[in-house]
Amino acid sequence: MAGPERDERPLGDLGRRLATRRAQLGLSRDDVADRAGMAASYVRYLEEHPGAAPDRGTLLGLAGALETTVPDLTGGTADLPPGLEEASRTAEFGELGESESRTLLGSHGVGRIALPTDTGPVVVPVNYSVVDGAVVYRTAPGTTPALAAGHRVAFEVDRIDDAFSRGWSVLVRGDAREVTDPDEITRLDADAHTAPWAGGDRELWISVDPAVITGRRISV
């Protein structure tokens, strides 16, 4: 099976969501076209033209091919928390080994850091990467994520598939520290895969060295 084209720059909300979901499944445009019963050129058109307005039948075919739902594909659930669908009757719950947990953790993206503050524990989302086995993220001095430095913290990342009522989560517990070594900062600037969505001047690196990594998966 051919992999997704890495140099594509999809335009428009539907196009971005279509291409992102296709990449998550490791599918090429030809793969999606075969699954949906349409021409690969039309899949490309939908990804690259912001004004594309396929009918509901086409959207249903694409959603089925991409193992998702029409609302997810069109952004209708963007402001809703994941996990609103009912549990599957054939769901199976299992613990993940450390190796698989580390692999899933290394997929990068957005996770949640749980840390102590003067007013009690808080949980905040951060864009993170995994570099040399450590969870790293960039923030600004004085922000809540920066308060993790010097504390034992928890970091959690998950993926939820509402369409099929399945998903996984990985939990990391370890000591957080502020990265101060210039050489290490330079390496993180070069090797980290994500940047803060919040933008602005966020040059403070925090590193969480995992002491314990556990994971869970719900499959159907």
Confidence of residue 163 (pLDDT cuts 50, 70, 90): low
Q: What is the pLDDT of residue 12?
A: 47
Confidence of residue 23 (pLDDT cuts 50, 70, 90): confident
Sorted by sequence, the CB contacts under 8 Å of residue 51 that are 6+ apart come out as 12
Q: Which two tokens stand for residue 23?
A: 């990449």
Confidence of residue 95 (pLDDT cuts 50, 70, 90): confident
**Position of tokens 């076209």?**
33
Please give the mean pLDDT across all residues of the chain.
Answer: 83
Confidence of residue 79 (pLDDT cuts 50, 70, 90): low
CATH class of 92-219: mainly beta
Residue 90 reports pLDDT greater than 80: no
Calpha distance 145→114 (Å, rounded): 9
Calpha distance 187→182 (Å, rounded): 9
Q: Alpha helix (H) ranges present in the chain?
A: 13-25, 29-36, 40-48, 56-65, 70-74, 98-105, 182-191
**Position of tokens 């998550």?**
24
In this prediction, residues 27-47 reach a mean pLDDT of 92
Helix (H/G/I), strand (E/B), else coil: 145: helix
Calpha distance 153→150 (Å, rounded): 9
Tens of pLDDT, residue by residue over 108-159, are 788 999 999 988 999 999 999 999 899 999 999 989 999 999 999 999 998 8
Confidence of residue 78 (pLDDT cuts 50, 70, 90): low
Tell me the domain boundaries of the chain.
Answer: 13-74, 92-219
Contact predicate 140/214, CB 8 Å: no
Q: Which CATH number fits domain 13-74: 1.10.260.40, 1.20.120.430, 3.40.50.720, 3.30.450.30?
A: 1.10.260.40
Check: pTM over 0.75? Answer yes or no. no
In this prediction, residues 183-211 reach a mean pLDDT of 82
